[in-house]
């Protein structure tokens, strides 16, 4: 019984021999960061792969979120979701912006446009929704609210790598979209991220901000930060990109197997994908409902006894953490749907190297805990 535990996710590591030529090139050139050859190539190839025009690489997704808010000079209050990774709201606090939490829709796990609208005040300047689990937000209705009230929309698209919605990139919606390439994400560069901008001028401003505000050798246009992606990260990204379609295919096989295996299990319900969007299978959330005797935390504990490290993404809600819980919008009665889902959700292991036999074993445990 001393089997290695199964994590909820695990990065795909390409064969080491494939990475060595990149390393040797970096060693020869001695160009390690600051818009090097691999950085430039990755920006171009990723933009093409994702079907967007203007993309700026970052050293991680959180710095990219912080810079996205700066690039659009967002201040005051921003309406966001409590049902996300904590970095979403932290990026607001780092900009001295007050987060205002609004509730989510039960079927998409994403901000409810009606709840956004009722949270708007005179201080509101922007909306920061998350395409949770890579499921698209209701981008049309969110844009409609934003247009009517003159608000900006910055999508935290950390889960939405490569997702197309109604035939075009989901990342083309809103004023900016921010990706994360952290080791736990579908596409990774160890640590990394990117901002998708709508035009060359905005990308330029973002590129200045990620390099201390430098415009040229002697001109500093803004109090920028250091958010640059280095050449090793960029090279790893180029190599991942060669494998990404196959890797997402393998994730899709696991997703299909879980659905097949769990179809008849009472009280454990896999998330419902949107028919109008492609999927990257970044996560496999299920809702553990009252009909399941063990309850969510009971199943979570039972999994751990079997060495299966399923995760309760997203529990606790961001609004429960000490720096947020005093806000009026953080109270549970303002967030009934998010609160319920946080108590029911469990993300099952999904990653390209996970054998289907392990998926079957996980399903067996669910059926006979």
Judged by CB under 6 A, the residue of 115, 173, 182, 311 near ligand PLP is 182
**Is the separation of the CB atoms in 171 and 145 below 8 Å?**
no
* Closest-CA residue to 181 (of 57, 71, 66, 91): 57
Q: Does 36 bind ligand PLP (CB under 6 A)?
A: no
Q: Choose between 90 and 205: whose C-beta lies nearer to ligand PLP.
A: 90
Piece of 58-66, 239-247, 265-273, 328-336 that binds ligand PLP (CB under 6 A): 58-66
Contacts of 252 (CB under 8 A, 6+ apart): 279, 281
Sheet holding 345-348, edge to edge: 268-270, 284-288, 345-348
Piece of 7-15, 19-27, 57-65, 196-204 that binds ligand PLP (CB under 6 A): 57-65
**Is the separation of the CB atoms in 6 and 309 below 8 Å?**
yes
**Is the separation of the CB atoms in 148 and 38 below 8 Å?**
no
**Is the separation of the CB atoms in 54 and 196 below 8 Å?**
yes
**Is the separation of the CB atoms in 225 and 210 below 8 Å?**
yes
Q: Does 240 bind ligand PLP (CB under 6 A)?
A: no
Please state the closest distance from residue 318 (CB atom) to ligand PLP, in A. Answer: 10
| Whole-number Å distance between alpha carbons of 103 and 82 | 7
Please state the closest distance from residue 178 (CB atom) to ligand PLP, in A. Answer: 8
| Whole-number Å distance between alpha carbons of 287 and 344 | 5
Q: Does 193 bind ligand PLP (CB under 6 A)?
A: yes
Judged by CB under 6 A, the residue of 84, 125, 234, 334 near ligand PLP is 84
Sign of CA dihedral 73, 78, 83, 85: positive
Please state the closest distance from residue 9 (CB atom) to ligand PLP, in A. Answer: 11
Paired with 180 in beta bridges are 193
* Closest-CA residue to 313 (of 282, 352, 277): 282
Paired with 311 in beta bridges are 347
| Whole-number Å distance between alpha carbons of 310 and 300 | 7
3-state helix, strand, coil in the chain (%, to 5): 40, 15, 40
Q: Choose between 38 and 155: whose C-beta lies nearer to ligand PLP.
A: 155
Q: Does 85 bind ligand PLP (CB under 6 A)?
A: yes
Residue 355's Cβ-count burial label (10 Å; 0-12, 13-18, 19+) is: exposed
Q: Choose between 268 and 350: whose C-beta lies nearer to ligand PLP.
A: 350
Please state the closest distance from residue 264 (CB atom) to ligand PLP, in A. Answer: 32
Q: Does 188 bind ligand PLP (CB under 6 A)?
A: no
Please state the closest distance from residue 64 (CB atom) to ligand PLP, in A. Answer: 7
Tokens of 208: 């200045």
Q: Does 237 bind ligand PLP (CB under 6 A)?
A: no
Q: Does 61 bind ligand PLP (CB under 6 A)?
A: yes
Query: Tokens 């049902």 — which residue?
Result: 83
Please state the closest distance from residue 185 (CB atom) to ligand PLP, in A. Answer: 6
Contacts of 253 (CB under 8 A, 6+ apart): 356
Q: Choose between 130 and 354: whose C-beta lies nearer to ligand PLP.
A: 130
Q: Choose between 90 and 257: whose C-beta lies nearer to ligand PLP.
A: 90
Q: Choose between 84 and 280: whose C-beta lies nearer to ligand PLP.
A: 84
Q: Does 228 bind ligand PLP (CB under 6 A)?
A: no
Please state the closest distance from residue 351 (CB atom) to ligand PLP, in A. Answer: 15
Please state the closest distance from residue 3 (CB atom) to ligand PLP, in A. Answer: 28
| Whole-number Å distance between alpha carbons of 234 and 215 | 22
Q: Does 315 bind ligand PLP (CB under 6 A)?
A: no
Subset of 107-166 contacting ligand PLP (CB under 6 A)? 130, 156, 158-159
Judged by CB under 6 A, the residue of 88, 125, 234, 261 near ligand PLP is 88
Q: Does 171 bind ligand PLP (CB under 6 A)?
A: no
Give the binding site for ligand PLP (CB under 6 A): 60-62, 84-85, 87-88, 130, 156, 158-159, 180, 182, 193
């Amino acid at each position: 019984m001393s089997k290695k535990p199964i994590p909820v996710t695990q990065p795909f590591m390409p064969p080491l021999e494939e990475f060595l030529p990149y390393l040797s090139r970096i060693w020869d050139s001695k160009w390690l960061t600051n818009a090097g050859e691999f950085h430039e190539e990755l920006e171009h190839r990723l933009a093409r792969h994702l079907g967007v025009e203007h993309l700026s690489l970052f050293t991680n997704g959180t710095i990219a979120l912080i810079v996205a808010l700066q690039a659009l000079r967002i201040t005051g209050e921003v309406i966001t979701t409590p049902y996300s990774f904590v970095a979403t709201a932290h990026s607001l606090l780092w900009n001295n912006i007050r987060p205002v939490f609004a509730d989510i829709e039960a079927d998409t796990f994403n901000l409810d446009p009606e709840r956004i609208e009722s949270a708007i005040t005179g201080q509101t300047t922007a909306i920061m929704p998350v395409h949770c689990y890579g499921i698209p937000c209701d981008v049309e209705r969110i844009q409609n609210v934003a247009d009517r009230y003159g608000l900006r929309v910055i999508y935290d698209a950390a889960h939405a790598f490569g997702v197309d919605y109604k035939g075009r990139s989901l990342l083309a919606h809103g004023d900016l979209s921010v990706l994360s390439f952290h080791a736990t994400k579908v596409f990774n560069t160890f640590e990394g991220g990117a901002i998708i901008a709508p035009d060359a001028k905005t990308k330029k401003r973002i590129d200045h901000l990620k390099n201390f505000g430098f415009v040229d050798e002697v001109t500093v246009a803004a109090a920028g930060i250091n958010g640059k992606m280095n050449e090793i990260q960029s090279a790893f990204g180029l190599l991942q990109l060669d494998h990404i379609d196959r890797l997402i295919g393998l994730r899709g096989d696991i997703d299909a197997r879980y659905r097949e295996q769990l179809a008849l299990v009472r009280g454990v319900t896999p998330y419902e994908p949107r028919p109008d969007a492609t999927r990257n299978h970044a996560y496999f959330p299920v809702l553990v409902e009252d009909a399941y005797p063990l309850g969510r935390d009971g199943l979570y504990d039972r999994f751990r006894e079997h060495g299966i490290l399923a995760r309760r993404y997203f529990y606790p809600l961001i609004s429960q953490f000490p720096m947020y819980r005093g806000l009026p919008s953080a109270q549970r009665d303002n967030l009934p749907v998010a609160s319920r889902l946080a108590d029911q959700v469990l993300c099952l292991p999904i990653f390209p190297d996970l054998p289907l036999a392990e998926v079957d074993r996980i399903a067996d445990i669910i059926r006979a805990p």
